[in-house]
Structure 1
Amino acid sequence: FLFLRNASATLIPSVVVPLSLVGTFGAMYLLGFSINNLSLMALTIATGFVVDDAIVMLENIARHREMGKPPLQAALDGAKEIGFTLVSLTISLIAVLIPLLFMGDVVGRLFHEFAVTLAVAIFISLLVSLTLTPMMAGRMLKGELQHEREDFLTRVIARYTVWLDWVLDRQRPTLLVMLATLVLTAGLYMVVPKGFFPSQDSGVLQVVTEAPQDISFAAMAERQQALAEKILEDPAVASLSSFIGVDGTNTTLNSGRMLVNLKPHEERADRAQAIIERLRTKLSDPATGVTGIRAYLQPVQELSIEDRVSRTQYQMTLTSPDMEELALWTNRLLERLQQVPALSDVASDLQNQGLQAYVEIHRDQAARLGVSVAQIANALYSAFGQRQIATLFTQANQYRVVLEVDPSRGDGLAALETTYVPTRTGGPVPLSTVATVTQRPTPLLVNHQGQFPASTISFNLAPGASLGEAVEAIEAAQREIGLPLSVEARFQGAAEAFRSSLSNTLWLILAAVVTMYIVLGVLYESFIHPVTILSTLPSATVGALLALLVTREPLDLIAVIGIVLLIGLVKKNGIMMVDFALEAQ
């Protein structure tokens, strides 16, 4: 409306958006797609692309109307003149998305639906722009159309003409600047930090707690409760749920979990990552934290490819046939990684420092007293097991009666020393009379991966660090400590997907450029015109990479997709310039 000063002209392109999106919804239904984060992102991006074609068509029709042509004739001439340009724009833009369709691994499966949805929306917008937009323009553009060119826009066009003449008079330096921009693009790509998925603030934090491996259930419950109270003191926390005990997620007694619900965004000043840093500082301080338990915090992500619950966000697994060698090198690597500035909350799930009591029976002494091994086993089970001796029934419930040793008689080895076993004569004797109890370290848990013993080292990123920097630092640490070939180290989950996607990122961008060149070459039947159109890409890519450096954001998958779409957007402007230049010839 600001340019054409006509309400009807404003209404025409606005109709294209809902029609294109409705058509896209129909295609998504036929393809079996769902409404999710990725498809919604595609539809959001498509909104800008679909209206662009209609605006180009309408502007060209309006130009013919300003020549004095009647509305219907202006619509026919304008559509005929700009039709090939719109087809070129759409086909080349869809061609940019082709590499996304053939991405492999988990990332490819994630973004396949995104690429198809966006391509369908762009194609439907082309059909609408070539049919409905000219028809509506021929029927609705009845009044006078006047571009607002008397002041600001006229001065902009005049200044652009001066600059264009200046550039055309200096073609060789301009080409050198373009080549320098291409080199600068490659340099910026090398120095910009790399990432995988941006961290989301979903309003939920996951907390994994870890206590000493020889802790009891009662002590673990007490410390977990104290830790929960400390977390609830934070003004940004609304509520939490806490879990301890051995289950499908907590594989050992000394670990626990919490899900912390944050207050809505409008009721808190900080984002999730800042809250995590504040809680981490508070809980790790001996004066304000809880002694004997450690908490590992990470934000819950709506889009995640992790297949396990770990202490922190990223994981690396070590495997070896030798359990002792695995434990040795896990501890060495853990100590080295805890010194890396790019990492925080480095932890391992190696649980080999538990305690186990061994009862060694003196068989000669037990035989003299008439104590059998079965009697000793039954006495121990009655004292420390879950022996059910009765069931009490009421009108509504039933209660199982379970034997246990009197807690006042002590715990640990002290409870074993006060345990009595029956003899043949009927009188009980202390367990220490017929057996010796010793305490030895033992693994609480032995994880396996690929049938081999495995341990997982998990880590978070330090503030300001990228996943690419962390991966490089970990690989350097492995070389520094001399990790043997018998111990295999491999990233898992998001870290592993990042490594595979990092090697494909550059090829993805190059494939998009090559695909566009081939498509444009076929459309224009020329080798030179596609080069002219694509010559604007380096400057746009430099701007994108500089924006990432200035904002200290990593080049993650979302940024790569943004650059790919930016390539398509910049290319559209180049196509229009080349088309009008060819028409002017």
Structure 2
Amino acid sequence: MRLPEIAVRRSISMIMVFIAFIGFGIFSLSQLGLDLFPKLEFPQIVIVSMMRGTGPEEMERLVTDVLEESVSQVMNLKNIESTSGSGSSVIFAEFEWGTDMNQAEIDIRNALDLYEDQLPEDVTDPMVIALDPSLSPIMFLSFSSDVLNEAELRYLIENDIEPLINRIDGVGSTMTRGGIEEQINVDVNPIILSEQGLSLSQLVGALSSVREDVPAGDFSFNGTYMNMKVETAFHSLEEIGRLVVGQNAGMPVQLQNVASIYRGYKDIKSIVRVDGSSSVVMVVFRRADANTVNVCGRVVDSLSEIDDSFGSAFSSSIVFSQADFINKSIMNLADTGLIALVVASLVLLFFLRSWRTSLVVAISIPVSVILCFIALRLFDITLNLISLSGLVLAVGMLVDNSIVVLENIFRHREMGQSPQQASIAATEEVGMAITASTLTTIVVFLPILFVPGITGMMFRDMSLTISFTIIMSLFVALTLVPLLASKTKNLVSSHKKGSIAHKHSLKMDGVLEKYKALLQKALTRKKLVILGTAVLLVISLLVMQTIPREFMEQPDMGFISLNAERTFGTDLESTDSTANVIEMQLRELLGEDLQSMYVKVGQEGGMEAVMGDVGPNQMSFMMRLCDVTDREKSVSAYKDEIRNMLDEMPDIQYDMEKSSQMMMGSSNAVEITLYGDDLEELRSVAEQIGVELSSIPGTKEVTTSIDAHSTELSFVPGYVQLAMRGLSPAFVSGELSTAFQGAPATFYREIDDEFDVVVRLAPEFRDSQEDFRAFTIAGMPLDGLGTFVERIASPEIARRNQSRVASIFCAVSGRSLGDVAKDVDVMMDTLDTRGMRFEVGGQTSDMKETLLFLGLAVIVAALLVYMVMAGQFESLLEPFIIILTIPMALIGVIWTLFITGTTISVTSLIGIVLLAGIVVNNGIVLIDYANRLRADGMDIVNAIVTSGVTRFRPILMTALTTILALAPLALGLGEGSEMWAPMAISVMGGLTVATALTLFLVPCLYVVLGSHKRFAKFSRKFQTDDKN
């Protein structure tokens, strides 16, 4: 027995199967994780090395050069980018998409080990970090207190609260920012130190030797066994002061003789405010394999328990939680899916005029979706914006197969067959046609899976979700629909004469008669219909050239991130004054739409050296707005207003794009990379490009990576003078670093508290450049040991593929990215770059590459659809006729995008790919039935007219359910829906025109080509050869 016959004749067994599947589906749904985007493995690895007191050029020469040389030998490497700063070297190794990143990380570690002996002794071991979405913070937690000072609050959060948060399942790491930290200061008097004949390195060495109590072994005395240790740890500040650090004239010199020892504070490197008040903020990161929503929920629960445990010591609040946007977006898409379900059901009820019949078809939607959850669980796909949007897109298509089956069952019932016979015979009759239709919808997603880069990875979940759902709908159409139809006696209710339903039926009959007349008229003017459609296609393709192009729409997440900086070298206090002004202006601009604002001035280093710029001139602002439905302006509109505000501040550079891209490819809209060896020449040409770029309409936030510069004071040692005193340049460098930056020498414990002990000059001896010049080493001022040279230096040196580079980048607003990209290409072709090589990249490059591959994906999808249809019809002619609806559907896509002002982007092109699999389905059903009628002896014209009239209602129903079900998504209402509006608009416009073409153009082509002897002979030849 075939599948429909099994379902009808063994109905109880089949119902039990569906109940079991639905149970598994609901269980699978409960196990699916919620996330913002699919699980992605980014092909990037970061290598970070630190060396205190080393300038950018020295870091480049001594560290970055060596590390880049080692990394460059690793397989599948695409690009190497590095930044050498003061005391830091950060290298980004980018690999080809699809590379096994676990193996790549091992290869990099092995390569670094081979070059380890070529690095300076003072450099830290290179830290290798694989980039992934878990490096983006998922939560910002704010802590404030009325009873604790800033140092006490910071200590409490860092030592008591942070460990509790880190123990939460799924939390990867945390960072605490803001407040002030305590330390033990050893402020040295350089005059007394020189009189005693000692050096700072001797003090650091003496303190470093006293760290922990040292075990002395196990001993047994007279049968008593005991452990012994040598107590060396300090128990009080007085003990630190009594430490002997050297001798002078045979007398011991204690630390307190040359320095003041007291409990003080670390130098403040950053200031944090939340909603205008000083605060301590904890940044929470998740593990790479953890679910964002679940982790955020556990942190919120734990935070509530912590608040109860610590009473009134502090108050906490959530500044930012990624789970909020994820939950709102998922719920919004789920609501959109429910609306689509209701709309599709109403369309069915309108056409079928019976709630029983409509219910039989409509039930296929929730059942198919629930069964799809089983596949999602098996393939480890989470419920995210991509996969859930795939479900929403599929809702309108899930009834297509069921409509065709039920319409055919109704026709067989009218022929006098019993409910069971009609259900079996009708389903088997159209079984191959709907199977082919399902295959054509699925195969269009194969090319998307092979699109390189972030696009292919992102939309894999959508492709699989739609495919799984449509396969399930086919299974439902072949089993559950005929089963339910066989149990429904009155499949279509009879309506009394004069009733609304009866009048509706008469109107539908009238519509069919009008369609039949129009189709017959079109068939008498076949060439005019075909030529007119071809001309309209050509005009549409010309109109398409005027439609703006974008890479990918950014969803309105309700957050604005702003990074700004003052001139390099600006101190923290001055930067904070500027930040206060910007903060006040932002509050005034955003008004009641602002829910909270996080402000950070300066940077504390650490991982921030990897994620962004470090320095006291840096400012970061993060603003959380109210829900998009509760405000009149979008995030994009507010960004434009903020840009206008900041453009009036001449000393400020800023960007709002890097922190808002959610790792969706390149962060800069336009990025021009200039290659050269001379830093000054690079700066000069980069500034010139920046000026020209600013003049292009639509460019915003134009900045260059090399425009900042600082005055560097270099000490050039006299090697004879040093040799006469037994000194080395390395020793001088160490003394200077300790004197003016400070050196952590040991730590001091007090009960459960632990503090760094930092050696440095007393503040009054390290306050000016004169103090620097007067600093004595071995009894000799620096002036006597060498010379000082002042010069302009870059605070950072950037490189790409082992060559120095300068990057010029900008955001785009008010114009399409494609139009700006064209102007940039023209600008760079005419600009004198003094022979320097350049590349234009950023999102412009990503857009060109991705749109090219997606354009090819559309062509490949059409070929695959043709191959599937050729296999079904065993003909080359009929598939050729049907496949012509794909380019003709572009007419609807182009004009819909043009009229609605929607750009051509990744999402709209994916809509066209999806359209290629949808638009042919109605043509398959139409021609399949026409071929059956011709096989029964009917002539070609009457066969296609009868097929058109018979299939008119199911074609119209399947098209309208898909089109109207996409309407909520096309409107782009609610969080996260902006990304999918272009896709829905493309499908709606294309399917509307394609439906009309299926009903009129396909019959004309069918008659013209089917009647042409050469085409008909060509098609029959293949069929005959196959039979022989």
Contact 1:413 1:437 in 2 (8 A): no
* Letter of the 2:611 counterpart: T
Cα drift, residue 559 of structure 1: 0.3
2:798 matched residue in structure 1: 447
Cα drift, residue 134 of structure 1: 0.6
Instruction: Select which of 854, 860, 880 maps to 1:511.
Output: 860
1:566 matched to 2:915? The reply is yes
Cα drift, residue 329 of structure 1: 2.9
Check 1:281–1:402 CA distance in 2 against 1; reply closer, same or farther (3 A cut). farther
* Letter of the 1:250 counterpart: G
Instruction: For residues 316-355 of structure 1, give each alpha carbon's deviation from its aligned partner in whole angstroms, at most 9, with x where no partner exists.
Output: 4333344444333322222221111132212111155211
Contact 2:485 2:491 in 1 (8 A): no
Check 1:318–1:72 CA distance in 2 against 1; reply closer, same or farther (3 A cut). same
Indicate the RMSD between aligned Cα atoms, in angstroms.
3.5
Instruction: Select which of 598, 601, 607 maps to 1:241.
Output: 598
Q: Computing the radius of gyration over CA atoms, which structure comes out larger, 1 or 2?
A: 2
Instruction: For residues 487-537 of structure 1, give each alpha carbon's deviation from its aligned partner in whole angstroms, at most 9, with x where no partner exists.
Output: 231414x44322211222322222222222222122112222123222333
* Letter of the 1:239 counterpart: S
Instruction: For residues 149-172 of structure 1, give each alpha carbon's deviation from its aligned partner in whole angstroms, at most 9, with x where no partner exists.
Output: 445423432332332233112111
2:513 matched residue in structure 1: 158
Cα distance in 2 for partners of 1:55, 1:112 equals: 29
1:298 matched residue in structure 2: 657
Cα drift, residue 460 of structure 1: 0.9
1:133 matched residue in structure 2: 481
Check 1:40–1:144 CA distance in 2 against 1; reply closer, same or farther (3 A cut). closer
1:278 matched to 2:628? The reply is no
Cα drift, residue 102 of structure 1: 2.6
Contact 1:375 1:422 in 2 (8 A): no
Check 1:267–1:165 CA distance in 2 against 1; reply closer, same or farther (3 A cut). same
Instruction: Select which of 525, 536, 550 maps to 2:874.
Output: 525
Cα drift, residue 554 of structure 1: 1.6
Check 1:485–1:543 CA distance in 2 against 1; reply closer, same or farther (3 A cut). farther
Contact 1:313 1:458 in 2 (8 A): yes
Instruction: Select which of 321, 334, 354 maps to 2:710.
Output: 354
1:261 matched residue in structure 2: 624
1:480 matched to 2:830? The reply is yes
TM-score, structure 2 length as denominator?
0.51
Instruction: Select which of 333, 345, 348 maps to 2:701.
Output: 345
1:318 matched residue in structure 2: 674
Cα distance in 1 for partners of 2:380, 2:730 equals: 63
1:552 matched residue in structure 2: 901
1:468 matched to 2:468? The reply is no
1:76 matched to 2:424? The reply is yes
Q: Percent identity?
A: 23
Check 1:584–1:211 CA distance in 2 against 1; reply closer, same or farther (3 A cut). same
* Letter of the 2:653 counterpart: R
2:412 matched residue in structure 1: 64
Cα drift, residue 442 of structure 1: 0.5
Cα distance in 2 for partners of 1:178, 1:332 equals: 51
2:963 matched residue in structure 1: none
Cα drift, residue 562 of structure 1: 0.8
Cα distance in 1 for partners of 2:432, 2:719 equals: 98
* Letter of the 2:613 counterpart: T
Query: Which shifted more, 323-332 or 169-178?
Result: 323-332
Give the SS at the match of 2:545.
helix
Contact 2:554 2:661 in 1 (8 A): no
2:76 matched residue in structure 1: none
Cα distance in 2 for partners of 1:33, 1:461 equals: 34
Cα distance in 2 for partners of 1:548, 1:388 equals: 63
Give the SS at the match of 2:610.
coil
Cα distance in 1 for partners of 2:476, 2:730 equals: 85
Give the SS at the match of 1:240.
strand
* Letter of the 1:167 counterpart: A
* Letter of the 2:404 counterpart: V
1:97-116 equivalences in 2 (<5 Å): 97-116=445-464
Query: Which shifted more, 296-305 or 322-331?
Result: 296-305
Cα drift, residue 390 of structure 1: 9.6
Cα distance in 2 for partners of 1:398, 1:101 equals: 54
1:208 matched to 2:563? The reply is yes
Give the SS at the match of 1:292.
coil
Check 1:545–1:279 CA distance in 2 against 1; reply closer, same or farther (3 A cut). same
1:384-395 equivalences in 2 (<5 Å): 384-387=740-743
Cα distance in 1 for partners of 2:847, 2:401 equals: 36
Instruction: For residues 530-566 of structure 1, give each alpha carbon's deviation from its aligned partner in whole angstroms, at most 9, with x where no partner exists.
Output: 2322233334211211222222222111101111222
Contact 1:327 1:350 in 2 (8 A): yes
Give the SS at the match of 2:702.
strand
* Letter of the 1:329 counterpart: V
Contact 2:704 2:809 in 1 (8 A): yes
Query: Which shifted more, 437-446 or 274-283?
Result: 437-446
Contact 1:85 1:576 in 2 (8 A): yes
Give the SS at the match of 2:383.
coil
TM-score, structure 1 length as denominator?
0.86
Give the SS at the match of 1:166.
helix
Query: Which shifted more, 356-365 or 60-69?
Result: 356-365
Cα distance in 1 for partners of 2:586, 2:862 equals: 50
Check 1:359–1:523 CA distance in 2 against 1; reply closer, same or farther (3 A cut). same
Mark the runs of 5 or more structure 2 residues left unpaired by the alignment.
1-348, 495-500, 935-1028
Instruction: Select which of 438, 458, 462 maps to 2:809.
Output: 458
Give the SS at the match of 1:49.
coil
Instruction: For residues 202-257 of structure 1, give each alpha carbon's deviation from its aligned partner in whole angstroms, at most 9, with x where no partner exists.
Output: 11222121211232233223323432333233223222333322432333423343
Check 1:443–1:161 CA distance in 2 against 1; reply closer, same or farther (3 A cut). same
Cα distance in 1 for partners of 2:729, 2:847 equals: 57
Instruction: Select which of 251, 254, 257 maps to 2:613.
Output: 251
Query: Which shifted more, 557-566 or 117-126?
Result: 117-126
Check 1:59–1:411 CA distance in 2 against 1; reply closer, same or farther (3 A cut). farther
Cα drift, residue 86 of structure 1: 0.9
Contact 1:181 1:538 in 2 (8 A): no
Cα distance in 1 for partners of 2:662, 2:655 equals: 20
Give the SS at the match of 1:317.
strand
Give the SS at the match of 1:161.
helix
1:20 matched residue in structure 2: 368
* Letter of the 2:626 counterpart: K
Cα drift, residue 444 of structure 1: 0.1
Query: Which shifted more, 531-540 or 513-522?
Result: 531-540
Check 1:565–1:143 CA distance in 2 against 1; reply closer, same or farther (3 A cut). closer
1:193 matched to 2:555? The reply is no
Give the SS at the match of 1:50.
coil
Contact 2:721 2:785 in 1 (8 A): yes
Cα distance in 2 for partners of 1:422, 1:115 equals: 70
Check 1:258–1:313 CA distance in 2 against 1; reply closer, same or farther (3 A cut). farther
Contact 2:560 2:622 in 1 (8 A): yes
Cα distance in 1 for partners of 2:351, 2:487 equals: 20
